[in-house]
Amino acid sequence: MGRITLEKVQKKFGETEVIPPLDLTIEDGEFVVFVGPSGCGKSTLLRLIAGLEDVSSGEIRIDGTPATDLPPAKRGLAMVFQSYALYPHMTVRKNIAFPMKMAGMDQAEQDRRIKKAADALNLTDYLDRRPGQLSGGQRQRVAIGRAIVREPAAFLFDEPLSNLDAALRVGMRLEISELHSRLETTMIYVTHDQVEAMTMADKIVVLRAGNIEQVGSPLELYREPRNVFVAGFIGSPKMNLMSGPAADAHGAHTIGIRPEHLDVVESGGTFSGKVGVSEHLGSDTFFHVHVDAMEEPMTVRAGGEVGLRHGDMIHLEPQADKIHRFDEKGLRIA
Ligand SMILES: Nc1ncnc2c1ncn2[C@@H]1O[C@H](COP(=O)(O)OP(=O)(O)O)[C@@H](O)[C@H]1O
Ligand SMILES: [Mg+2]
Protein backbone atom coordinates (compact mmCIF):
# COMPACT_ATOMS: atom_id res chain seq x y z
CA MET A 1 0.00 0.00 0.00
CA GLY A 2 1.14 3.55 -0.54
CA ARG A 3 -1.55 6.21 -0.30
CA ILE A 4 -0.06 9.49 0.83
CA THR A 5 -2.07 12.52 1.88
CA LEU A 6 -0.86 16.00 2.72
CA GLU A 7 -3.21 18.27 4.66
CA LYS A 8 -2.34 21.96 4.88
CA VAL A 9 1.33 21.08 4.82
CA GLN A 10 3.48 24.18 5.15
CA LYS A 11 7.24 24.68 5.23
CA LYS A 12 9.18 27.70 6.36
CA PHE A 13 12.94 28.09 6.50
CA GLY A 14 13.29 30.73 9.20
CA GLU A 15 10.85 33.46 8.20
CA THR A 16 10.74 32.41 4.56
CA GLU A 17 7.69 30.40 3.58
CA VAL A 18 8.87 28.03 0.87
CA ILE A 19 5.69 25.92 0.78
CA PRO A 20 2.45 27.74 1.62
CA PRO A 21 -0.12 25.37 3.18
CA LEU A 22 -1.13 22.83 0.53
CA ASP A 23 -3.34 19.79 0.19
CA LEU A 24 -2.47 16.82 -2.00
CA THR A 25 -3.51 13.20 -2.28
CA ILE A 26 -1.34 10.58 -3.93
CA GLU A 27 -3.24 7.37 -4.57
CA ASP A 28 -1.84 3.91 -3.98
CA GLY A 29 0.09 2.74 -7.04
CA GLU A 30 0.09 6.11 -8.75
CA PHE A 31 3.09 7.55 -10.61
CA VAL A 32 3.04 11.19 -9.58
CA VAL A 33 5.47 13.76 -10.94
CA PHE A 34 6.22 17.07 -9.20
CA VAL A 35 7.36 19.46 -11.89
CA GLY A 36 8.27 23.13 -11.88
CA PRO A 37 11.16 25.51 -12.38
CA SER A 38 14.30 25.31 -10.29
CA GLY A 39 13.79 26.62 -6.76
CA CYS A 40 9.99 26.17 -6.73
CA GLY A 41 10.07 23.75 -3.79
CA LYS A 42 9.92 20.32 -5.44
CA SER A 43 12.76 18.81 -3.43
CA THR A 44 11.51 20.40 -0.23
CA LEU A 45 8.06 18.88 -0.73
CA LEU A 46 9.58 15.46 -1.41
CA ARG A 47 11.86 15.74 1.63
CA LEU A 48 8.85 16.64 3.80
CA ILE A 49 7.13 13.47 2.63
CA ALA A 50 10.30 11.45 3.23
CA GLY A 51 10.73 12.97 6.69
CA LEU A 52 14.12 14.47 5.85
CA GLU A 53 12.64 17.88 6.67
CA ASP A 54 10.11 18.67 9.41
CA VAL A 55 6.86 20.36 8.39
CA SER A 56 6.24 23.79 9.90
CA SER A 57 2.55 22.93 10.15
CA GLY A 58 0.07 20.48 8.67
CA GLU A 59 -0.33 16.73 8.59
CA ILE A 60 1.13 13.94 6.45
CA ARG A 61 -0.56 10.53 6.40
CA ILE A 62 0.73 7.35 4.84
CA ASP A 63 -2.01 4.77 4.32
CA GLY A 64 -4.18 6.64 6.78
CA THR A 65 -1.62 6.59 9.58
CA PRO A 66 -0.27 9.95 10.83
CA ALA A 67 3.35 10.11 9.71
CA THR A 68 4.17 13.76 10.37
CA ASP A 69 6.28 12.99 13.41
CA LEU A 70 7.76 9.68 12.24
CA PRO A 71 11.49 9.57 11.49
CA PRO A 72 12.36 8.77 7.84
CA ALA A 73 13.20 5.12 8.53
CA LYS A 74 9.74 4.49 10.03
CA ARG A 75 7.77 5.84 7.06
CA GLY A 76 8.30 2.84 4.80
CA LEU A 77 9.41 5.04 1.90
CA ALA A 78 12.59 4.75 -0.16
CA MET A 79 14.33 7.72 -1.72
CA VAL A 80 16.52 7.72 -4.84
CA PHE A 81 18.68 10.80 -5.41
CA GLN A 82 20.37 12.44 -8.37
CA SER A 83 23.76 11.62 -6.87
CA TYR A 84 23.62 7.86 -6.55
CA ALA A 85 25.39 7.84 -3.17
CA LEU A 86 26.81 4.34 -3.68
CA TYR A 87 29.66 3.00 -1.57
CA PRO A 88 32.62 2.83 -3.99
CA HIS A 89 34.49 0.10 -2.12
CA MET A 90 31.49 -2.25 -1.97
CA THR A 91 30.26 -4.54 -4.72
CA VAL A 92 26.88 -3.98 -6.33
CA ARG A 93 25.53 -6.86 -4.24
CA LYS A 94 26.75 -5.28 -1.01
CA ASN A 95 25.48 -1.85 -2.01
CA ILE A 96 22.03 -3.27 -2.67
CA ALA A 97 22.12 -5.33 0.52
CA PHE A 98 23.21 -2.41 2.69
CA PRO A 99 19.82 -1.22 4.00
CA MET A 100 18.81 -4.83 4.74
CA LYS A 101 22.05 -5.49 6.57
CA MET A 102 21.53 -2.37 8.64
CA ALA A 103 18.06 -3.61 9.49
CA GLY A 104 19.53 -6.97 10.56
CA MET A 105 17.49 -8.99 8.06
CA ASP A 106 18.34 -12.69 7.80
CA GLN A 107 20.64 -13.72 4.98
CA ALA A 108 18.17 -15.92 3.06
CA GLU A 109 15.65 -13.08 2.87
CA GLN A 110 18.40 -10.65 1.82
CA ASP A 111 19.45 -13.02 -0.97
CA ARG A 112 15.87 -13.43 -2.17
CA ARG A 113 15.35 -9.67 -2.37
CA ILE A 114 18.70 -9.04 -4.07
CA LYS A 115 17.86 -11.61 -6.72
CA LYS A 116 14.44 -10.07 -7.31
CA ALA A 117 15.83 -6.53 -7.57
CA ALA A 118 18.71 -7.61 -9.82
CA ASP A 119 16.25 -9.41 -12.11
CA ALA A 120 13.96 -6.39 -12.28
CA LEU A 121 16.85 -4.07 -13.11
CA ASN A 122 19.00 -6.31 -15.35
CA LEU A 123 21.85 -6.22 -12.86
CA THR A 124 22.29 -9.95 -12.34
CA ASP A 125 25.56 -10.07 -14.28
CA TYR A 126 26.99 -7.09 -12.43
CA LEU A 127 26.45 -8.06 -8.80
CA ASP A 128 30.14 -8.66 -8.11
CA ARG A 129 31.38 -5.45 -9.69
CA ARG A 130 32.13 -2.22 -7.91
CA PRO A 131 30.36 1.05 -8.83
CA GLY A 132 33.54 2.35 -10.53
CA GLN A 133 33.21 -0.47 -13.07
CA LEU A 134 29.68 0.53 -14.10
CA SER A 135 28.18 3.09 -16.47
CA GLY A 136 26.14 6.01 -15.12
CA GLY A 137 22.88 4.29 -16.02
CA GLN A 138 23.93 1.07 -14.29
CA ARG A 139 24.90 2.99 -11.18
CA GLN A 140 21.53 4.64 -11.10
CA ARG A 141 19.95 1.18 -11.39
CA VAL A 142 21.98 0.02 -8.37
CA ALA A 143 20.65 3.00 -6.43
CA ILE A 144 17.12 2.01 -7.44
CA GLY A 145 17.91 -1.61 -6.50
CA ARG A 146 18.86 -0.50 -3.03
CA ALA A 147 15.45 1.17 -2.79
CA ILE A 148 13.56 -1.85 -4.18
CA VAL A 149 14.90 -4.31 -1.59
CA ARG A 150 13.30 -2.26 1.15
CA GLU A 151 9.92 -3.10 -0.42
CA PRO A 152 8.73 0.41 0.36
CA ALA A 153 5.17 1.71 0.33
CA ALA A 154 6.40 4.32 -2.13
CA PHE A 155 9.52 5.30 -4.04
CA LEU A 156 10.61 8.92 -3.96
CA PHE A 157 12.86 10.06 -6.81
CA ASP A 158 14.58 13.45 -6.82
CA GLU A 159 15.75 14.28 -10.34
CA PRO A 160 17.34 10.82 -10.64
CA LEU A 161 18.33 11.23 -14.29
CA SER A 162 19.87 14.70 -14.28
CA ASN A 163 23.44 13.39 -14.27
CA LEU A 164 22.94 11.15 -17.30
CA ASP A 165 23.47 12.09 -20.93
CA ALA A 166 20.42 12.68 -23.11
CA ALA A 167 20.24 9.24 -24.74
CA LEU A 168 20.67 7.44 -21.44
CA ARG A 169 18.01 9.64 -19.86
CA VAL A 170 15.44 8.51 -22.40
CA GLY A 171 16.40 4.87 -21.79
CA MET A 172 16.21 5.17 -18.01
CA ARG A 173 12.91 7.01 -18.28
CA LEU A 174 11.45 3.97 -20.01
CA GLU A 175 13.06 1.60 -17.49
CA ILE A 176 11.57 3.44 -14.54
CA SER A 177 8.15 3.52 -16.21
CA GLU A 178 8.38 -0.22 -16.88
CA LEU A 179 9.49 -0.84 -13.32
CA HIS A 180 6.46 1.05 -12.12
CA SER A 181 4.06 -1.03 -14.18
CA ARG A 182 5.71 -4.22 -12.91
CA LEU A 183 5.89 -3.29 -9.22
CA GLU A 184 2.66 -1.27 -9.13
CA THR A 185 4.13 0.65 -6.20
CA THR A 186 3.46 4.35 -5.66
CA MET A 187 6.19 6.51 -7.13
CA ILE A 188 6.73 10.21 -6.59
CA TYR A 189 9.17 11.65 -9.06
CA VAL A 190 10.61 15.17 -9.00
CA THR A 191 11.90 16.85 -12.15
CA HIS A 192 12.22 20.30 -13.70
CA ASP A 193 11.86 18.66 -17.12
CA GLN A 194 8.30 18.81 -18.40
CA VAL A 195 9.03 16.15 -21.03
CA GLU A 196 9.89 13.68 -18.26
CA ALA A 197 6.71 14.70 -16.48
CA MET A 198 4.56 14.26 -19.59
CA THR A 199 6.04 10.91 -20.58
CA MET A 200 6.13 9.25 -17.17
CA ALA A 201 3.31 10.54 -15.00
CA ASP A 202 -0.16 9.24 -14.27
CA LYS A 203 -0.63 12.51 -12.45
CA ILE A 204 1.40 15.70 -12.74
CA VAL A 205 1.60 18.29 -9.96
CA VAL A 206 2.79 21.63 -11.38
CA LEU A 207 4.49 23.78 -8.75
CA ARG A 208 5.44 27.43 -8.82
CA ALA A 209 6.92 29.19 -5.78
CA GLY A 210 5.63 26.38 -3.57
CA ASN A 211 2.07 26.69 -4.85
CA ILE A 212 0.27 23.93 -6.69
CA GLU A 213 -0.71 25.53 -9.98
CA GLN A 214 -2.53 22.48 -11.35
CA VAL A 215 -2.90 18.74 -10.77
CA GLY A 216 -3.96 16.48 -13.60
CA SER A 217 -3.05 13.83 -16.12
CA PRO A 218 -0.54 14.83 -18.80
CA LEU A 219 -3.30 15.21 -21.38
CA GLU A 220 -5.54 17.22 -19.06
CA LEU A 221 -2.70 19.68 -18.53
CA TYR A 222 -1.94 19.79 -22.23
CA ARG A 223 -5.56 20.26 -23.29
CA GLU A 224 -6.84 22.48 -20.51
CA PRO A 225 -4.07 24.35 -18.72
CA ARG A 226 -5.72 26.19 -15.86
CA ASN A 227 -3.61 29.30 -16.21
CA VAL A 228 -0.97 31.01 -18.33
CA PHE A 229 1.88 29.58 -16.26
CA VAL A 230 0.85 25.96 -16.83
CA ALA A 231 0.08 26.76 -20.47
CA GLY A 232 3.60 28.04 -20.99
CA PHE A 233 5.28 25.35 -18.93
CA ILE A 234 3.66 22.19 -20.35
CA GLY A 235 4.28 21.41 -24.01
CA SER A 236 7.34 21.45 -26.22
CA PRO A 237 8.00 23.68 -28.05
CA LYS A 238 6.27 26.15 -25.78
CA MET A 239 2.79 27.46 -26.45
CA ASN A 240 2.66 30.86 -28.21
CA LEU A 241 1.11 33.37 -25.82
CA MET A 242 -0.19 36.68 -27.14
CA SER A 243 -1.91 39.73 -25.71
CA GLY A 244 -3.19 42.82 -27.48
CA PRO A 245 -5.41 42.88 -30.58
CA ALA A 246 -4.94 39.15 -31.31
CA ALA A 247 -6.37 38.37 -27.85
CA ASP A 248 -9.01 41.14 -27.94
CA ALA A 249 -10.50 39.47 -31.03
CA HIS A 250 -11.24 36.44 -28.82
CA GLY A 251 -12.52 38.41 -25.84
CA ALA A 252 -9.45 37.48 -23.82
CA HIS A 253 -6.52 39.23 -22.18
CA THR A 254 -4.12 36.58 -23.43
CA ILE A 255 -4.56 33.81 -25.96
CA GLY A 256 -2.37 30.76 -26.34
CA ILE A 257 -1.83 28.66 -29.46
CA ARG A 258 0.43 25.64 -29.48
CA PRO A 259 2.99 25.41 -32.32
CA GLU A 260 1.30 22.22 -33.56
CA HIS A 261 -2.07 24.00 -33.84
CA LEU A 262 -0.93 26.57 -36.38
CA ASP A 263 -1.51 25.49 -39.97
CA VAL A 264 0.66 26.87 -42.76
CA VAL A 265 -1.69 28.22 -45.47
CA GLU A 266 -1.00 29.43 -49.01
CA SER A 267 -2.23 32.97 -48.52
CA GLY A 268 -4.28 35.07 -46.12
CA GLY A 269 -4.35 33.51 -42.67
CA THR A 270 -4.71 35.19 -39.29
CA PHE A 271 -0.96 35.70 -38.87
CA SER A 272 1.62 36.46 -41.53
CA GLY A 273 5.30 36.98 -41.02
CA LYS A 274 8.84 36.23 -42.04
CA VAL A 275 10.53 32.94 -41.30
CA GLY A 276 13.48 33.37 -38.94
CA VAL A 277 15.35 30.44 -37.50
CA SER A 278 14.19 26.98 -38.60
CA GLU A 279 14.97 23.87 -36.60
CA HIS A 280 14.95 20.76 -38.77
CA LEU A 281 14.46 17.61 -36.74
CA GLY A 282 13.73 15.34 -39.68
CA SER A 283 10.27 14.29 -38.53
CA ASP A 284 9.29 17.87 -37.72
CA THR A 285 10.40 21.39 -38.47
CA PHE A 286 10.03 24.22 -36.00
CA PHE A 287 9.80 27.63 -37.65
CA HIS A 288 10.27 30.80 -35.66
CA VAL A 289 8.17 33.40 -37.42
CA HIS A 290 8.47 37.15 -36.95
CA VAL A 291 4.97 38.57 -37.12
CA ASP A 292 4.55 42.36 -37.31
CA ALA A 293 3.42 43.99 -34.07
CA MET A 294 4.45 40.96 -32.01
CA GLU A 295 7.42 41.15 -29.73
CA GLU A 296 8.22 37.47 -29.60
CA PRO A 297 8.57 35.28 -32.67
CA MET A 298 5.81 32.69 -33.03
CA THR A 299 6.80 29.05 -33.11
CA VAL A 300 5.17 26.81 -35.70
CA ARG A 301 5.49 23.08 -35.82
CA ALA A 302 5.29 21.86 -39.41
CA GLY A 303 6.01 18.55 -41.12
CA GLY A 304 9.55 17.42 -41.80
CA GLU A 305 9.83 18.62 -45.38
CA VAL A 306 8.37 22.07 -45.71
CA GLY A 307 10.30 24.05 -48.32
CA LEU A 308 10.53 27.36 -46.52
CA ARG A 309 13.72 29.33 -46.02
CA HIS A 310 14.96 32.10 -43.83
CA GLY A 311 13.23 35.35 -44.84
CA ASP A 312 10.31 33.70 -46.69
CA MET A 313 6.80 35.00 -46.00
CA ILE A 314 4.62 32.49 -44.20
CA HIS A 315 0.86 32.58 -43.56
CA LEU A 316 -0.60 30.89 -40.53
CA GLU A 317 -4.09 29.92 -39.50
CA PRO A 318 -4.72 28.65 -35.95
CA GLN A 319 -7.04 25.68 -35.55
CA ALA A 320 -10.15 27.43 -34.23
CA ASP A 321 -11.02 24.94 -31.48
CA LYS A 322 -7.44 24.83 -30.15
CA ILE A 323 -7.13 28.45 -29.05
CA HIS A 324 -6.70 28.85 -25.28
CA ARG A 325 -8.13 32.00 -23.69
CA PHE A 326 -7.02 33.58 -20.43
CA ASP A 327 -8.29 36.58 -18.45
CA GLU A 328 -6.26 39.48 -17.03
CA LYS A 329 -5.36 37.38 -13.97
CA GLY A 330 -3.97 34.72 -16.27
CA LEU A 331 -6.79 32.26 -15.50
CA ARG A 332 -8.35 30.08 -18.16
CA ILE A 333 -11.65 31.30 -19.60
CA ALA A 334 -13.93 28.30 -20.03
N1 LIG B 1 17.71 24.13 4.12
C2 LIG B 1 17.26 25.27 3.56
N3 LIG B 1 17.36 26.46 4.17
C4 LIG B 1 16.89 27.59 3.61
N5 LIG B 1 16.28 27.64 2.40
C6 LIG B 1 16.18 26.49 1.72
C7 LIG B 1 16.65 25.24 2.25
N8 LIG B 1 16.37 24.27 1.35
C9 LIG B 1 15.77 24.88 0.32
N10 LIG B 1 15.64 26.20 0.53
C11 LIG B 1 15.00 27.18 -0.37
O12 LIG B 1 13.70 26.71 -0.66
C13 LIG B 1 13.34 26.96 -2.00
C14 LIG B 1 12.93 25.68 -2.68
O15 LIG B 1 14.07 24.85 -2.82
P16 LIG B 1 13.99 23.40 -3.44
O17 LIG B 1 12.89 22.64 -2.76
O18 LIG B 1 15.35 22.82 -3.37
O19 LIG B 1 13.56 23.71 -4.94
P20 LIG B 1 13.58 22.76 -6.23
O21 LIG B 1 13.87 21.37 -5.79
O22 LIG B 1 12.23 22.95 -6.84
O23 LIG B 1 14.65 23.32 -7.14
C24 LIG B 1 14.54 27.65 -2.63
O25 LIG B 1 14.30 29.03 -2.61
C26 LIG B 1 15.68 27.27 -1.71
O27 LIG B 1 16.68 28.25 -1.72
MG1 LIG C 1 15.45 20.08 -6.27
At residue 74, the pLDDT reads 92
Contacts of 106 (CB under 8 A, 6+ apart): none
Higher per-residue confidence, 162 vs 327? 327
Residue 258 near residue 230 (C-beta atoms within 8 A): no
Question: For residues 35 and 173, what is the distance between their CA atoms, to the nearest angstrom?
Answer: 15
The gap between the terminal CA atoms of the chain, to the nearest Å, is 37
Listed in order, strand segments (DSSP E) in 159-220 are 186-191, 203-208, 211-216
Please report which confidence band the pLDDT of residue 67 belongs to, taking 50, 70 and 90 as the band edges. Answer: very high
Ligand 1 pocket check for 191: Cβ under 6 Å: no
Ligand 1 pocket check for 15: Cβ under 6 Å: no
Mean pLDDT within 58-70? 97
Q: What is the pTM of this model?
A: 0.93
Residue 251 near residue 325 (C-beta atoms within 8 A): yes
Minimum CA distance residue for ligand 1 atom 6:
13
Question: For residues 316 and 10, what is the distance between their CA atoms, to the nearest angstrom?
Answer: 46
Please report which confidence band the pLDDT of residue 8 belongs to, taking 50, 70 and 90 as the band edges. Answer: very high
At residue 228, the pLDDT reads 98
CA of 84 to the centre of ligand 1 (A): 20
Mean pLDDT within 146-167? 90
Mean pLDDT within 255-277? 95
Question: CB neighbours (10 Å) of residue 268?
Answer: 9
At residue 136, the pLDDT reads 86
Minimum CA distance residue for ligand 1 atom 2:
13
pLDDT in tens, 74-113: 999 999 887 778 999 999 999 999 989 998 999 999 999 9
Mean pLDDT within 192-207? 96
Ligand 1 pocket check for 171: Cβ under 6 Å: no
The 3-state secondary structure of 301-328, one letter per residue: EEECCCCCCCCCEEEEEECHHHCEEECC
At residue 306, the pLDDT reads 74
Question: For residues 22 and 30, what is the distance between their CA atoms, to the nearest angstrom?
Answer: 19
For residue 305, pLDDT beyond 80 = no
pLDDT in tens, 286-304: 999 999 878 899 999 998 7
Ligand 1 pocket check for 48: Cβ under 6 Å: no
Ligand 1 pocket check for 37: Cβ under 6 Å: no
CA of 161 to the centre of ligand 1 (A): 20
Q: What domains are defined for the chain?
A: 4-230 (3.40.50.300), 238-326 (2.40.50.140)
Ligand 1 pocket check for 39: Cβ under 6 Å: yes
Mean pLDDT within 51-55? 97
CA of 56 to the centre of ligand 1 (A): 14
Pocket test for ligand 1, best of 12, 13, 47 (most atoms within 8 A of CB): 13
Least confident of 144-148, 166-170, 320-324: 166-170
CA of 38 to the centre of ligand 2 (A): 7
Mean pLDDT within 225-234? 97
CA of 163 to the centre of ligand 1 (A): 20
Query: Mean pLDDT over all residues of the chain?
Result: 94
Least confident of 80-84, 129-133, 198-202: 80-84
For residue 180, pLDDT beyond 80 = yes
